[in-house]
Structure 1
Amino acid sequence: MTMKVRNLALVALLGTASIGAAQSPDAPALTGPDWARRGEAELSPARYSVIVEKDVAVPMRDGVKLAADVYRPDAPGKFPVIVLRTPYNKATPDEVQNSRWYAERGYVVVNEDVRGRFASGGDFYTYRHEAQDGYDTDAWAAVQPWSSGRLGTLGGSYLGYTGLTQAIGGHPALKAVATDVTTTDIYNSWVYSDGAFLLGFSLPWGAGTVYGRTTDGGGAFVKPEAYAKLPLNTADAASYKVDQPYRDWLAHPLRGDSYWNGISFERQAAKISIPALVVSGWYDIFLRGALGDHQQIKGAGATPLARAQKRIVIGPWTHFKTIAPRKGGFGGMSTPDDVDYGPDAALNGNLLYLRWHDHWLKGMDNGADRDPAVRIFVMGENKWRAEDEWPLKRTRYTPYYLASGGRANTATGDGTLSTTKPAGAESDRYDYDPANPVPTLGGNICCSSVPSGAHDHSPVEKRPDVLVFTGPVLDRTVEVTGPIRATLYAASSAPDTDWVVRLIDVDPNGYARNIQDGIVRARYRKGKDAPPAPIEPGKVYRYDIDMWASSNAFLPGHRIRVEVTSSNFPRFDRNLNTGEDPATGTRMAVAHQQVLHSARYPSHVLLPIIPR
């Protein structure tokens, strides 16, 4: 693997239907794996000129009218319909080109501004109206004179969320979903992560990019000082303007709160009854939710068709850097990922989504219904692999135990990692100061100036508030593919604090590439549905930390490493260590932390090892 070289996958702009977007006529032939190029000749060809109707009024059940631009083939007859519902302006050049591209290939594209955004009527409130408005839009599109009565969805991120909510108890005319970098799980993927607030996303995107009707001056890149603003529920005004949804998210930290009804649909994902194709990335912010949706639908989907025809494709991508749509990408919204995963990591989404809709909306026998349920990109070896299920049945879940002589602070400390359970009574200590948190350096974050994806964590590992546990040099490849969890036995001097665990791949040159991480807020250690419970200072608690999932081959000569710390800022808000309400607290305290790894308290990460 070549380090410090940019990922070859081109840019996908948040919210556009970017993965299915058109390739410019002058673009060079895209590379990519054979499986993605197979069947290219079977795709619907560009054969139609296009008629465009601007700002067509689409009625909602409450009398509000949404505005849609309708792109349709200039030919008699009825055509299948692709519905895109966007908060990012249907009239942008990329949206126009994308919609035309599908219309040229025999689809009617209904490209609609969601309620309260740009040309559509009503008031916008993030997430709140999408399921109902999506259903009403589908009902309208199904009976138009140009409609065949067979509908599909397209689009990523927020557009993907709208498509998935359309499919939950969806209109009978909706026959297929195609989407990327998204999930139904708003609560525990978009806003919170095991009790910690996703500040690095919720502030710049929620209180900036989708603020108001037209985002008049807001945007994804907030003032750096706004992240540190206290109380947290005023950081929106410090960055841009007061945003009520942002403040409401902070005021409703429990999943069981009725506020999340009609917003977060992860408990209803199994109600999807139609084929659904989702593309995600190992470094996408919504990866965990996408995998959760997949397991729900695959295991308990509302129909045999939905269960049999659920597909997921996961590459080495971040949210902005997904599948190469066309020469030049979209808008230059790149992320400074350090790693080049090779030419197979750059896919042309047309070969996925057009093929999908050709089959399910046009009835073309192109093999889309016979594709494997799961395709994963194994980083390190940089190879694609087809699988029948997720997680993989052949997985050997193997504990890797933390150990040290009590000085695991920094990468030059004495922390070790092995499959041997500790026998002594060991522990490590560090101080976590929320006034000086560990900075976010890559990972599953998007939509801000904060780095995402894979980066060298060596700078972070110089901090004394980061414990570093490193395994021996490998003499064979160790593949880690699947869900990753950590069990941490720890004590704190604070009534509340955070624990962060990160998996690292260290190459022979010392480049420490972050693979995946997880966080838990101590007061929410009992789960997202349980009331918050303070911890007793000095008492040892067991923390089970969901480190999401990945697929990485640790190659010979590399080492497996684990970091333990108490902050990852500003991806997550800082725990102030005082036990105050995180939304309104202003007082900080230094927490004296102890991580135990002994026969009694065997702290470890549980790695999903795939037999070679």
Structure 2
Amino acid sequence: MLRILLSCLLCVSLSVGLAQAQSFEGYEAEFPETLVTRFDVRVAMRDGVHLSTDIYLPDGEGPFPTLLVRDIYSNGTTAVRQRYARFATSNGYAFVFQSSRGRYDSEGIWTPYFDEIDDGDDTLSWIAEQPWSNGRVGMFGSSYLASVQWLAALNGNPALKAIAPAVSPGNYYRDVAYPGGAFSLLSRARWGLGLVGSRTNTNYPVDWVRAVNHLPLVTLAEQLGFDVPHFQDWLAHPSYDDYWRPLNLEARANEMSVPALNIGGWYDVFLRSTLGSFQTMQSEAATADARAGQRLLIGPWNHAWNQGSQVGDLEFGESSLIAVEPLLLAWFDHWLRDGPAPEGAPVTLFVMGENVWREEQEWPLARTVYTPYYLHADGRLSEAPAEAPGQLEYRYDPADPVPTLGGNIMEPSLRGPREQSPLDTRTDILRFETAVFEAPMEITGPVRAVLHASSSAPDTDFMAKLVVVRADGTAYNLVDGVLRARYRDGFESPELIEPGEVYAYDIDLWATSYLLSPGERLRLDVTSSNFPRLARNLNTGAPFATTSDFVVAEQTLHLGGEHPSRLILPVIPR
């Protein structure tokens, strides 16, 4: 696959402008002259609900392999969706577009995610039975259009031969709703209420960044004029329970037997799941072909992947963009037409800082040296443990939370790498910094922080953000993570903390790939809020979303001796 990818990268820089770099944005193929279309075909699901489905058939007698897109954001008439149809039919595939249950012209009531399992399965079976179909189906699409691919795969439908999910969730509790046990407030409110809270996409006149300041969260939707059951369901299930369990696709890998081209971005809101789905499918998928048929491609992108060479405040160069259509065509030609196997290694990563693509055999990389960097009371971050025990303190006030500045979030104005100096004056952030690196050092892989901390509150949050400080003093976020104190021992059984007692908080900062240059430093920022990306912990220990009461928490970070607070970096030898 790498040879194909590299040729795509070259053709992007030579012939495709930035405005055309987004997936399918510049796809100029025409429909075949003898295109056959059938619009708004009513396809029956097992419960009698009919879904609006469009069919596009290419030149030739057939039967054809089919590419399927199931969608909640369109009825198939938008320019991008029409490019999907042109891509498929101009390359000899039948194309089927379907609006999900309860969306646009499809019958029924839409409940995010759950109905896509059986509806996807029923649609695959229907396609396989059509006279124009050869029984081989592939699926592609991004975000929710990627979710429906994994969900359709759960029933093991033999017609589904391959998928290509981009920027897709896979563990809906940990990625979509409650990363680290903290509610993903801005993304869930803006998406779950504002974008998909009606039958069709609607841009309501709501300033979401300001609106989510409302407390208690359980009345947020009502306050804004919405009545959306699924949003209330999310608030009612702050722990990992039977509501979320069916949507933990990583735990259900052994039920799926589909090869997948997993595409993600280092700054995507669903990065953790893109990596996790690849790993669990490689090791646990139901068939040997599916286990061997996993591919992983991670670029320097946010959720709007491959749209431009600048992401957030950083420029990654035109080589960071890929020509998606040849990549997908090679993928589906192999699995649906018995074409050549994808060339190259299973993993292709973009190394930021160096700004190059590189092939790897596995994820995480086998040669990784996990290296602890210890936090010191004088603000140092070093490989040497603290010489003596120490501690640092800060106050977390829910009325004045640390504002979101960059990261893996959907909100376009906040996501991606952002210069961090606007936060320099805040006193509720503890900062730890390495010495200047004298030689290049690469970090590629999962990143963790183990913080030994105590609080005056019965529940609170602890957060860590890894930052690159450049030689000129500018600082940009790489990765961050959070852990709600009550979930320190797992997300199924919350347990409040004893005020004043020291606990170890093992914080998952997800993953990154960055080559540090001589003259650069790493910094770890420790705090207790990231608002409005994450709902504030009100520090009272009350049930989530039900109260407006809050207290200020006095936080103490313990360092050295029995409490070796540390950052664990995935160092790649060079």
Same fold (TM over 0.5): yes
Give SS of 1:56's match.
strand
From 417, 420, 445, the counterpart of 2:409: 445
Residue equivalent to 1:119? 105
Deviates more, 1:336-345 or 1:571-580: 336-345
Does the 8 Å CA contact 2:27/2:87 hold for their aligned counterparts? no
Residue equivalent to 1:39? none
State whether structure 2 residue 568 is matched by structure 1 residue 565. Answer: no
Tell me how far 1:70 sits from its aligned partner. Answer: 1.1
Does the 8 Å CA contact 1:223/1:239 hold for their aligned counterparts? no
1:393 and 1:600 map into 2 onto residues whose CA distance is 31
| RMSD, matched Cα | 2.1
Residue equivalent to 2:351? 378
Residue equivalent to 1:346? 321
From 301, 324, 328, the counterpart of 1:317: 301
Tell me how far 1:51 sits from its aligned partner. Answer: 2.2
State whether structure 2 residue 421 is matched by structure 1 residue 458. Answer: yes
Give SS of 2:222's match.
helix
Tell me how far 1:169 sits from its aligned partner. Answer: 2.9
Q: Residue type of the partner of 2:475?
A: A
Q: Against the structure 1 CA distance between its residues 159 and 81, is the aligned structure 2 distance closer, same or farther, given a 3 Å change threshold?
A: same
Q: List aligned pairs for 1:42-441, cutoff 5 A.
A: 49-89=34-74, 90-218=76-204, 222-255=207-240, 257-320=241-304, 322-324=305-307, 337-365=312-340, 367-368=341-342, 370-405=343-378, 415-441=379-405
2:268 and 2:143 map into 1 onto residues whose CA distance is 10
Q: Residue type of the partner of 2:443?
A: V
Superimposed CA distance per residue, residues 48-88 of structure 1 (whole angstroms, 9 cap, x where no aligned partner): 54222111111100000000111111432211111111000
Give SS of 1:294's match.
helix
Tell me how far 1:574 sits from its aligned partner. Answer: 0.4
Q: Residue type of the partner of 2:217?
A: L
1:54 and 1:184 map into 2 onto residues whose CA distance is 31
1:491 and 1:262 map into 2 onto residues whose CA distance is 35
Tell me how far 1:304 sits from its aligned partner. Answer: 0.9
Residue equivalent to 1:539? 501
Q: Residue type of the partner of 1:280?
A: G
Q: Against the structure 1 CA distance between its residues 10 and 302, is the aligned structure 2 distance closer, same or farther, given a 3 Å change threshold?
A: farther
Tell me how far 1:336 sits from its aligned partner. Answer: 6.6
Tell me how far 1:46 sits from its aligned partner. Answer: 7.7
Residue equivalent to 1:30? none
Residue equivalent to 1:489? 452
Tell me how far 1:453 sits from its aligned partner. Answer: 0.4
1:303 and 1:538 map into 2 onto residues whose CA distance is 51
Superimposed CA distance per residue, residues 333-359 of structure 1 (whole angstroms, 9 cap, x where no aligned partner): x99711011111111111211110111
Does the 8 Å CA contact 1:503/1:561 hold for their aligned counterparts? yes
Tell me how far 1:22 sits from its aligned partner. Answer: 5.7
1:544 and 1:12 map into 2 onto residues whose CA distance is 42
Task: Report the count of equivalent residues.
Answer: 558
Tell me how far 1:47 sits from its aligned partner. Answer: 5.7
1:403 and 1:351 map into 2 onto residues whose CA distance is 50
Q: Residue type of the partner of 2:402?
A: V
2:470 and 2:34 map into 1 onto residues whose CA distance is 53
Residue equivalent to 1:469? 432
Superimposed CA distance per residue, residues 15-52 of structure 1 (whole angstroms, 9 cap, x where no aligned partner): xxx73x263449xxxxxxxxxxxxxxxxxx98654222
1:272 and 1:176 map into 2 onto residues whose CA distance is 11
Name structure 1 gaps, 5 residues minimum.
1-7, 27-44, 406-414
Tell me how far 1:91 sits from its aligned partner. Answer: 2.4
Superimposed CA distance per residue, residues 448-497 of structure 1 (whole angstroms, 9 cap, x where no aligned partner): 35410001112113210011101111101111111111100001111110
Q: Against the structure 1 CA distance between its residues 264 and 243, is the aligned structure 2 distance closer, same or farther, given a 3 Å change threshold?
A: farther
Give SS of 1:151's match.
strand
Does the 8 Å CA contact 2:436/2:521 hold for their aligned counterparts? yes
Name structure 2 gaps, 5 residues minimum.
1-15
Does the 8 Å CA contact 2:186/2:208 hold for their aligned counterparts? no
2:124 and 2:20 map into 1 onto residues whose CA distance is 26
Identical-pair percentage: 43
Does the 8 Å CA contact 2:449/2:464 hold for their aligned counterparts? yes
Give SS of 1:155's match.
strand
Structure-1-length-normalised TM-score: 0.88
Q: Residue type of the partner of 1:342?
A: G
Give SS of 1:422's match.
coil
Superimposed CA distance per residue, residues 223-275 of structure 1 (whole angstroms, 9 cap, x where no aligned partner): 333211001122223345121111111101121x2222443423112322121
1:609 and 1:162 map into 2 onto residues whose CA distance is 35
Q: Against the structure 1 CA distance between its residues 388 and 565, is the aligned structure 2 distance closer, same or farther, given a 3 Å change threshold?
A: same
